[in-house]
Amino acid sequence: MLTFVVRRVFQSALVLLIVGLVAFSMFRFVGDPIDNMLGQERTDADIARLRTELGLDQPFPVQYVKFLKGAAEGNFGVSYRQGRPVSTILVERAPATLELAAVSGFFAITIGIGLGVFTAIRRDGFMANMIMSVSLIGVSLPTFLIGILLIYLFAVELGWLPSFGRGDVVHIGWWSTGFLTASGLKALILPAITLGLYQMTLIMRLVRSEMLEVLRQDYIRFARARGLKERSVNFRHALKNTLVPVITVTGLQLGSIIAFAIITETVFQWPGVGLLFINAIQFVDIPVMAAYLMLISVMFVGINLIVDLLYFAIDPRLRVDQKGAK
């Protein structure tokens, strides 16, 4: 198992290096930042000075190594637009996105697994069929449309929930949280549902089909034949076996919740890193874009590593170190 973990860590590092290269290439190939930073009234001397200041006159590999060094220390340079260090901006923005992702991830997993199990057990029931039909809407409607519809219904027509922003936040150290105020919690509801709805339907459909597969297995028939209660058969025996493949997909989906937050954050003007990224693209603010790319890839790689380790926790067949019996 240790071999496995070490190998996975190496693989993850390699992935990050490659993503780093892509992120860094943006500096070289996506326009010239000097153009944006200096106004119309620039002189050649200004340009040369700024070039040296930013280290853009050095050869490509040297710049890459410098970039990696900086990235490892959390230093992504200075935002072209705001003139402040990117790391500071990210720290300000990250809590908003992470809280939104956590709430919608929690919503997607709990409701998704719950409904998945329900629709699998009551396979031919009226409610199960209804849920399955409605879930098609969840998969097929684009996120921004769902967001706009929710805003129209709950913010404009009913007026129950705010249509944009995070509400009031409380600062705990550098972290700003919306969990502790009523307006913060209220502001979370609509964006969280918008962001999590697609993942929820996906998880639900996956759990359902896996569960139906597991319920056909011999050990489930055998558990029934021993007279065990339905609840025990469904949850103790079937659900755990269902989760093994579900975890893989769920892990990837959690990564994409953070990545896809861009759209939701734009619709709800949520002050997170997604919105930051969109604004950065509009202004060709490359340090911010590069940092965002690195941040997302670290998340993805980290989540996948955790998923792989979870396999060991759930499936004893993978723990090959234990002595086998003949």
Partner 1 sequence: MTLLTIEDLSVHFPTRHKVFVAVNEADLTVEPGEIHGLVGESGAGKSTIGAAVMGLLDRPGHIAGGTVSFKGEAISGRDAEAMRSLRGAKISMIFQDPLTSLNPLLTVGQQLIETIQFHLKLSEGDSRKRAVELLDRVGIPLPEERIDMYPHQFSGGMRQRVVIALALCSEPDVIIADEPTTALDVSIQAQILELIKELARERQTGVILITHDMGVIADTTDKVTVMYQGAVVESGATEQVMGNPQHDYTKSLIAAVPRPTLKVHRFPQLSYGGRSIEFHIDDLARNWQKPEPSKSGTLLKVENLTKTFLQKGALIPSRRKYFKAVDNVSFDIRDGEVFGVVGESGSGKSTVARMIATLYETNGGKITFDETEVTALSSNRDLEGYRRQIQMIFQDPYSSLNPRMRVDEIIAEPVKHHKLLEGAAIQHRVDELLDRVGLGSEAGRKYPHEFSGGQRQRISIARALATQPRFLICDEPTSALDVSIQAQILNILKDLQEHLGLTMLFISHDLPVVRQMCDRVGVMRQGQMVEVAETEELFANPKEAYTRELLSLMPKLEGLSTEGLKDEII
Q: Site residues (CB under 8 A) for partner 1?
A: 3, 7, 217-219, 221-230, 232, 236-237, 240-241, 244, 314-317, 320, 322, 324-326
In the complex with partner 1, which residue's Cβ is closer, 45 or 225? 225
Rounding to the nearest 10 degrees, give the CA dihedral for residues 182, 185, 186, 190: 180
CB of 237 to partner 1, least distance (A): 5
In the complex with partner 1, which residue's Cβ is closer, 50 or 228? 228
Cβ-contact 121, 234 below 8 angstroms: yes
Cβ-contact 308, 314 below 8 angstroms: no
Distance (Å, rounded) from C-alpha 7 to C-alpha 294? Answer: 21
In the complex with partner 1, which residue's Cβ is closer, 202 or 223? 223
Helix pair angle (182-215, 86-121), 10° resolution: 40
Residue (of 112, 127, 104, 87) closest to 255 by Cα position: 104
In the complex with partner 1, which residue's Cβ is closer, 171 or 317? 317
CA atoms within 13 A on the CB side of 15: 18
CB of 301 to partner 1, least distance (A): 21
CB-based contacts of 308-313 (< 8 A; 24+ apart in sequence): 308/4, 308/8, 309/5, 310/247, 310/251, 311/244, 311/247, 312/1
CB of 15 to partner 1, least distance (A): 20
CB of 323 to partner 1, least distance (A): 8
- The 3-state DSSP class for residue 211 equals helix
CB of 240 to partner 1, least distance (A): 5
Cβ-contact 250, 97 below 8 angstroms: no
CB of 302 to partner 1, least distance (A): 23
Residue 272 is given by DSSP the state S
In the complex with partner 1, which residue's Cβ is closer, 189 or 244? 244
Q: How many other CB atoms sit within 10 Å of the CB of residue 27?
A: 22
CB of 13 to partner 1, least distance (A): 16
In the complex with partner 1, which residue's Cβ is closer, 171 or 231? 231
CB of 226 to partner 1, least distance (A): 4
In the complex with partner 1, which residue's Cβ is closer, 134 or 320? 320
Distance (Å, rounded) from C-alpha 280 to C-alpha 186? Answer: 28
CA atoms within 13 A on the CB side of 56: 18
In the complex with partner 1, which residue's Cβ is closer, 49 or 229? 229
